[in-house]
Amino acid sequence: MRSIERRAILLGAAALAAAPLPVAGAEDWPARPVRLVIPFAAGTTTDSVGRLLAQHLSRAFGQSFVVDNRSGAGGNVGTAQVAKAAPDGYTLVLGTIGTHAINVSLYPDIGFDPVRDFTPIAPFGATPAVLAVRRGLEAANLAELIALAKRRPGTLTFASAGNGTTGHLSQVMLDRRAGIETVHVPYRSGAQAVTDLISGKVDAMFYHFLALGPHIREGSIRAVAVTSDRRTEGLPDVPTMVEAGLPGFVVVAWWGLYAPAGTPAPIVARLNEAVNRFLSDPEAQASLRAQGVDPVGGPAERLATLTREEIATWREVIRAGGIRPD
């Protein structure tokens, strides 16, 4: 899978759905508060970055962009509500790799089509995972971890924040690419999974740098590799999975701003411009990177292409692994 930032996207005009509102109505937008649905609970990374975006859009348009947390079913509950909302620019969703790429293959019925039911506005941010192992595990690098798994098939345990999360899917990809068999240990809470990795109750875990970084610096766990296509600023001495010996192993969680299908093109264009202006601001970039999120940005078609490609990628992984939601 290629990284988000290296996707070659043609910047020509994208075919957008016909606008249901007259141009005058689109020009008057926003005449009242806009609802930004965050399909996860308050306090999550998606919530945090969504609030930063809402604050910027409120300033940019001189109108309130109100965060509305609608969590449940891996983000499906809130996302489905937006899919059914009026396409007038007053309801948006900060979608994720889960809501717009993974869940359609993971759940029997998510209540929406991530391509058909949405108008992409802009890619927003991305974050890789870190493959970390417990202190004391006899594996100082990826090659040694794979060799250990081959010597002890079906015994090495990998924690995750739940079935179908990017951490779990990364483990499935590792098993397939490396020809090994490891044991998945799903948790209801990523924080609890990290705690058990630190205490040595599980052997390894793919998880985001924001949560693992402090423990890696303290030496309570050890970083083996990162899943991005290049090394991360926070772990400059830790190789990528590709550098460590697994070609093409790139897994990047991402966020994108979407509106209901049929949202007028002028509104989409104004929102895209505002999002990209935000992502180019050094202060905004610093705020996002402090949460382990790399700004992305780009045209709406870039998000449309990303959505389609990621759906195909994760459909294959989920089917191959026989993965079902918790």
Give the other-Cβ count within 10 Å of 145's Cβ. Answer: 25
Q: How far apart are CA 191 and CA 168, in angstroms?
A: 15
Task: From 61, 35, 62, 32, select the one nearest 50 (Cα to Cα).
Answer: 35
How many angstroms separate the CA atoms of 18 and 268, rounded?
12
The answer to whether the beta carbons of residues 71 and 41 sit under 8 Å apart is: yes
Residue 188 has a pLDDT of: 84
In a domain, 35, yes or no: yes
- Which of 34, 8, 46, 45 minimizes the C-alpha distance to 274? 34
Residue 302 has what pLDDT? 97
117 and 98 within one domain: yes
Model confidence at 190, pLDDT cuts 50, 70, 90, reads confident
Q: What separation, in Å, do the N-terminal and C-terminal C-alpha atoms of the chain show?
A: 26
pLDDT at res. 20:
40
Judge if 117 and 177 occupy the same domain: no
Residue 322 is predicted with a pLDDT of 87
Q: Are 157 and 215 found together in one domain?
A: yes
Residue at 238 is within a domain: no
Same domain, residue pair 120 and 50: yes
58 domain-assigned: yes
- Do 274 and 116 meet the contact criterion of CB atoms below 8 Å apart? no
Could you give the residue ranges of the DSSP H alpha helices within 31-135? 45-61, 76-83, 97, 103-106
pLDDT of residue 9: 32
Structurally, the chain folds into a number of domains equal to 2
**Domain containing residue 150:** 128-226
| CATH number reported for the structural domain that contains residue 147 in this entry | 3.40.190.10
Residue 37 bridge partners (DSSP): 68, 93
Give the pLDDT score at 320.
83
Q: Is the peptide bond before 282 cis (omega within 30 degrees of 0)?
A: no
Average pLDDT, the chain: 90
Residue 289, Cα to own-chain centre: how many angstroms?
A: 14
- Residue 129 per-residue DSSP state: E
Cα 228 to Cα 249: distance, rounded to the nearest angstrom: 8
Provide the β-strand partners of residue 268. none
On whether residue 133 sits in a domain, the answer given is yes
Please tell me whether residue 216 adopts helix, strand or coil conformation.
Answer: helix
Q: Which of 117-126, 217-226, 228-237, 299-308 has the lowest mean pLDDT?
A: 228-237
**144, part of any domain:** yes
What's the pLDDT band for 2 if we cut at 50, 70, 90?
very low
Q: What pLDDT shows up at residue 132?
A: 98
Residue 138 is predicted with a pLDDT of 95
- Tell whether the model's pLDDT for residue 27 goes beyond 80: no
The share of the chain scoring above pLDDT 90, in percent, equals 78
Q: Please report which confidence band the pLDDT of residue 25 belongs to, taking 50, 70 and 90 as the band edges.
A: low
At residue 132, the 3 state secondary structure works out as strand
The pLDDT value given to residue 19: 37
Structure tokens at 245: 């010996």
Check: CB of residue 225 under 8 Å from CB of residue 140: no
Lowest-confidence pick of 2-6, 38-42, 213-217: 2-6
Domain harbouring 71, CATH code: 3.40.190.150
Q: With 60 as the cut, is the pLDDT of residue 144 above it? A: yes
| pLDDT one-digit tens code per residue, 60-114 | 999 999 999 999 988 999 999 999 999 999 999 999 999 999 999 999 999 999 9
pLDDT of 124 > 60? The answer is yes
Q: Locate tokens 């040694």: which residue?
A: 144
The yes-or-no verdict on residue 321 having pLDDT over 90 is no
Collapsing DSSP states into helix, strand and coil, what is residue 27? helix
Q: How do residues 228-257 score in pLDDT, each as one tens digit? A: 989 988 899 999 999 999 999 999 999 999
Is residue 21 pLDDT above 50, yes or no? no
Average pLDDT estimate for 153-160: 97
Residue 137 forms part of a structural domain: yes
Q: Looking at the predicted structure, is the pLDDT value of residue 269 above 80?
A: yes
CA of residue 198 relative to chain centroid, distance: 24
Q: Mean pLDDT throughout 124-149?
A: 96
pLDDT band at 325 (very low <50, low <70, confident <90, very high): confident
The CA radius of gyration of the chain, in Å to the nearest whole number, is: 20
Instruction: Assess if residue 310 is contained within a domain.
Output: yes
* 236 lies in some domain: no
Task: Say whether pLDDT at 318 is over 80.
Answer: yes
